[in-house]
Amino acid sequence: MAKVKTTFFCNNCGAESSKWMGRCPQCGEWNSLVEEVIKETKHSRTPTNRGVGQNVMKPVALPDIEVSNIARIPSGYKEIDRVLGGGIVPGSLMLLGGDPGIGKSTLLLQVSKQVAEDVGIVLYASGEESQLQLKLRAERLSINSANLHVLADTDLDHVLEEALANKPSLLVIDSIQTMYTGDIEAAPGSVSQVRECTARLLRFAKEQNISIIIIGHVTKEGNIAGPRMLEHMVDVVLYFEGERSYQFRILRAIKNRFGSTSETGIFAMEEEGLGELENPSEALLAERSDEESGSAVMIYLEGVRPILVEVQSLVTPTAFGMPRRTSIGYDLNRLIVLLAVLEKRCGFTLGNKDVYVNVIGGLKVNEPACDLSMAVAIVSNLKNRVVPADMVILGEVGLTGNVRSIPRIEQRISEAKKLGFTKFVIPDGNLRQVKTKNSELQIRGVKTIQEAMQLAFN
């Protein structure tokens, strides 16, 4: 008879402990240890007990391994293919995470439709929705492909058996937290179940050369729920980000064994589903007014992709003893430092003012290159002066009031030029790096924040 024992697992890092502790000894997280009953079984190496689709692999000498060009599977979306490095690699295991309701299932259902029509059979296994619910979602997205097979089941062994029988080009698991295997006596979503199910999917993908995409739930901190080793086991980790009240969504690669992690894809949530944004800068600046104070345009890098976005500020006299600072889409700590620099180096009185800043479109900007444009927007509303509509302001502001250089200045200027911007205020260190000479463009370099204010409000 198999021996049964009780073990405690950490929900954050997956560390195992023989007894409960208030704090995980590995990652230091408090109250993260959960109790699970583990049934020890002897693993046999007989062919009848290898598992679904499991083969015996033998070592091969490195020179004997044939190298051929891998034909990637196109997802049907240029934004996704760019993030993945050219498409889906056969036999890869990918993990997609994101907040609830952000559009993960919608995105993968649309990708499944494109792969089913262009490549072959796609198996979509859902443990959260029934087949009828999947049909209703597909009708809303105008999806009706005969090669797209849906399976509503939480038994991973049954899902793998169906995948072995149908040999799909792509297998989608929605989601990994709902799947379970009978070899582990724990509830679905527990640390041991998630770890074992992911290990089986990884083994199945490599042995059968079938690409698998799994959806993972996220915690309130924004990390994928389950042990941290889940991200180490898979080949690609993608995050689908965005505010639910806004239409823009960003697909970001956190880990990619087959491509760069600096690429991002931008989508817009519409009634017909998720649509690609080939020119997100134009969409973000479509409703910008030319005669309002407190507004400035900056260019930030989403990966290596320059995007123009409008920043707005509102400066009002405080009604209380302590002035309020509120930031939406911009780091609050950087805002506080920026206000201190404006007060100390430029002489603006902000200690008795409430300051509110906002990045239009629900985007989150954490790049230091946006400091100077945010400072100009604040002063614009403080002095009720309008920034020229065709001006772009770039630069990192230091504590001494100096403006420091930023990367990829040529790409930023080229993107702004396409939308009709002709005036640029950039760091003086970047001015020498600009090789493109155009008489229509007015590019001025500044060394201090005071010089930038004089150019913006001449």
Q: Within 10 A of 20 (CB to CB), how many other CB atoms are there?
A: 11
In a domain, 171, yes or no: yes
In a domain, 225, yes or no: yes
CA pair distance 90, 236, nearest whole angstrom:
12
Q: Using one digit for the tens of pLDDT, what is the confidence trace for 143-177?
A: 999 999 999 999 999 999 999 999 999 999 998 98
pLDDT value of residue 67:
67
Q: What is the mean pLDDT of residues 128-142?
A: 92
Phi then psi dihedrals of residue 403, to 5 deg: -110, 120
**DSSP readout, 188-212?**
TTSHHHHHHHHHHHHHHHHHHT-EE
Q: 16 and 164 share a domain?
A: no
Q: 37 and 186 share a domain?
A: no
Q: Which of 450, 437, 439 is nearest to 372 (CA)?
A: 450
pLDDT value of residue 69:
67
Q: Using one digit for the tens of pLDDT, what is the confidence trace for 47-101?
A: 444 555 555 668 889 888 776 667 899 999 999 999 998 899 999 999 999 888 8
The residues near 432 (Cβ < 8 Å, ≥ 6 apart) are none
CA pair distance 113, 144, nearest whole angstrom:
8
Q: What is the mean pLDDT of residues 103-108?
A: 93
Range of the domain at 357: 283-456
pLDDT value of residue 93:
95
pLDDT value of residue 43:
46
The DSSP secondary-structure symbol of 328 reads E
In a domain, 320, yes or no: yes
In a domain, 59, yes or no: no
In a domain, 64, yes or no: no
- List the single range of 102-106, 178-182, 225-229 with lowest mean pLDDT: 225-229
Q: 24 and 136 share a domain?
A: no
* CB 219 within 8 Å of CB 225: yes
Residue ranges of the binding site for ATP: 98-105
* CB 4 within 8 Å of CB 12: no
Q: For the domain that residue 290 is a member of, what is the CATH number?
A: 3.30.230.10
CA pair distance 413, 26, nearest whole angstrom:
47
How many residues would you count in the chain?
A: 458
Q: 245 and 299 share a domain?
A: no
Six-digit token string for 51: 């598992």
pLDDT at 221 over 80: no
The DSSP secondary-structure symbol of 419 reads T
Q: 276, 301, 320: which is the final residue of a domain? A: 276
* CB 426 within 8 Å of CB 404: no
Q: 347 and 250 share a domain?
A: no
In a domain, 396, yes or no: yes
Radius of gyration of the chain (CA): 26
In a domain, 65, yes or no: no
pLDDT value of residue 305:
86
* CB 207 within 8 Å of CB 53: yes
- Average pLDDT over the chain reads 87
Match 């993968």 to its residue by tokens. 108
Q: 174 and 123 share a domain?
A: yes
pLDDT value of residue 289:
81
Strand order in the sheet with 236-241: 148-152, 122-126, 170-174, 211-216, 93-98, 236-241, 248-256, 264-270, 273-276
Which residues partner with 265 through β-bridges?
Answer: 251
**DSSP readout, 219-275?**
-TTSSBSS-THHHHHSSEEEEEE--TTSSEEEEEEEEETTS-SS-EEEEEEETTEEE
CA pair distance 220, 204, nearest whole angstrom:
31
Q: 150 and 6 share a domain?
A: no
Q: 317 and 232 share a domain?
A: no
Residue ranges of the binding site: 98-105
pLDDT value of residue 46:
41
Q: What is the mean pLDDT of residues 330-354?
A: 93
Q: For the domain that residue 96 is a member of, what is the CATH number?
A: 3.40.50.300
In a domain, 62, yes or no: no
Q: What domain count does the chain have?
A: 3
Q: Using one digit for the tens of pLDDT, what is the confidence trace for 428-449?
A: 999 888 876 677 889 999 999 9
pLDDT value of residue 432:
84
Q: 159 and 209 share a domain?
A: yes
pLDDT at 2 over 90: no
pLDDT at 222 over 70: no
Q: Which of 321, 330, 328, 325 is nearest to 340 (CA)?
A: 325
In the chain, what's the furthest Cα-to-Cα distance? 86
pLDDT at 229 over 90: no
* CB 196 within 8 Å of CB 9: no
Q: 93 and 147 share a domain?
A: yes
pLDDT value of residue 56:
65
Indicate the pLDDT class of residue 217, thresholds 50, 70 and 90: confident
Q: 385 and 236 share a domain?
A: no
Q: 289 and 272 share a domain?
A: no
Q: What is the mean pLDDT of residues 272-277?
A: 88
Q: 234, 252, 276: which is the final residue of a domain? A: 276
- Higher local confidence (pLDDT), 225 or 211: 211
Q: 258, 276, 294: which is the final residue of a domain? A: 276
